[in-house]
Structure 1
């Protein structure tokens, strides 16, 4: 049976990942490339978010999860629907019009935006058919459509959300150091955090569980490893708990 798409309703997915080596919060983008019919001229060469039309009889959340799986192969990731974007001119850029004409998209498409959190090492970009690539949130390339605005608003929502719920642990390895947690908060919030106070507060959280393990393969003195226990957190706190960093 043919699956019909809703021509003027789509989902767009902002995929956040964190690189513990460079201490950079990154966004996963896909290549948008179009040549002229004669192949002698490049008409479009930039990046966009991954997204697609919603299918008939498909829930919005399911559409976002489908699009994310097609890009990364991953399922059951943290996701949040944060805003609908429906400006009548959101797809009216010069390059956008060329792309839409080629792809036969509806000019009045409304998109429901989500963001996902994942560990960068879980995604293999080798031979990715979408030519996906990680970019630092502070050094984004030229973007198509209104995707710059969508990313900026997703980032602002993430800043607020990471102070309300312990979602940052979705971006870290299962075993992490206190310094890695601090580096991630600083990267997301773009602030400096007092190291001593942060360490003291974090290790006193019952849901931050110390392990009988230390870092391996480091040149400096290996640091203690910890893990986040969602079970303990869920037992201790209800929604809207404010994490004091």
Structure 2
């Protein structure tokens, strides 16, 4: 039996990735390109979030996970549903109207927005058929629909969330230094953090497990490596995590 999609209900996914080389928070976008049928005129040439209609036989979470997997091949990533967007005019920009007619979109589509967290190197963008590309959050290209607003609201939610839950470890390798943790916080929050105070507070967290290992392949003095213990954190979950950076 053919799976039916709900024509005016969709999910849109903000995929945040942290680049350890540039120390920047990035957003994964896909190319949106449309030429006129009777000429070589380019009607639409910009980027959008990945998203799609919800199928009648799936939950919202299942739809978001499906969309993520179709774009990245990844599953079981941290995700959060943070808001619904249903402005009657959200698809009525001139370029959006052209695209929606071409794709036979319902102009009164309501979307449920999610964001996901991962490391930029987890995705092979070079061979991605959707022409996916990472952009720094602070330097986004022209973005279609109301997706810039969705990205901005996802970012605001992420800033608040990272102060109360240890979700930034989703953006780090399994083994990391204290400086790398600080750099992720600074990238997300857009602030400079006092190094000594931050280090003192973080290493006192019981879920920060010091390893008998140090960095390798660095020109400077190698730093101590740590791991995050989700099991220990879960046992402490009733206490206030607020990191007070």
Query: Do both proteins adopt the same fold according to a TM-score greater than 0.5, normalized to the shorter chain?
Result: yes
2:5 is aligned to: 5
Secondary structure class of the residue paired with 1:138: helix
Give unmatched runs, 5+ long, in structure 1: none
The alignment status of 1:97 with 2:129, answered yes or no, reads no
2:42 aligned residue:
42
2:228 paired with 1:235: no
Moved more, 132-141 or 31-40: 31-40
Q: Which runs of 5+ in 2 are unaligned?
A: none
Secondary structure of the 1:157 match is: helix
Query: What does residue 22 of structure 1 align with?
Result: 22
Aligned to 1:140: 140
Using structure 1 for the length normalisation, give the TM-score: 0.98
Paired positions, count:
245
CA contact (8 A) 1:166 1:243 kept: no
User: TM-score by structure 2 length?
Assistant: 0.98
SS of 2:12's partner is: strand
Show CA shifts across 1:82-130 (max 9, x none). 0000000000001000100100000000000000001111111122011
Partner in structure 2 of residue 115 of structure 1: 115
Report the equivalent of 2:63: 63
CA apart distance, 1:69: 0.4
Q: Identify the residue that residue 174 of structure 2 maps to in structure 1.
A: 174
- 1:222 corresponds in structure 2 to 222
Indicate if the aligned counterparts of 1:30 and 1:50 stay in contact, CA closer than 8 A.
yes
Determine the structure 2 residue equivalent to 1:244.
244
Aligned to 1:127: 127
CA distances 1:172-195 after superposition (whole Å, capped 9, x unpaired): 111111001001101101111100
- How much does 1:38 deviate? 3.0
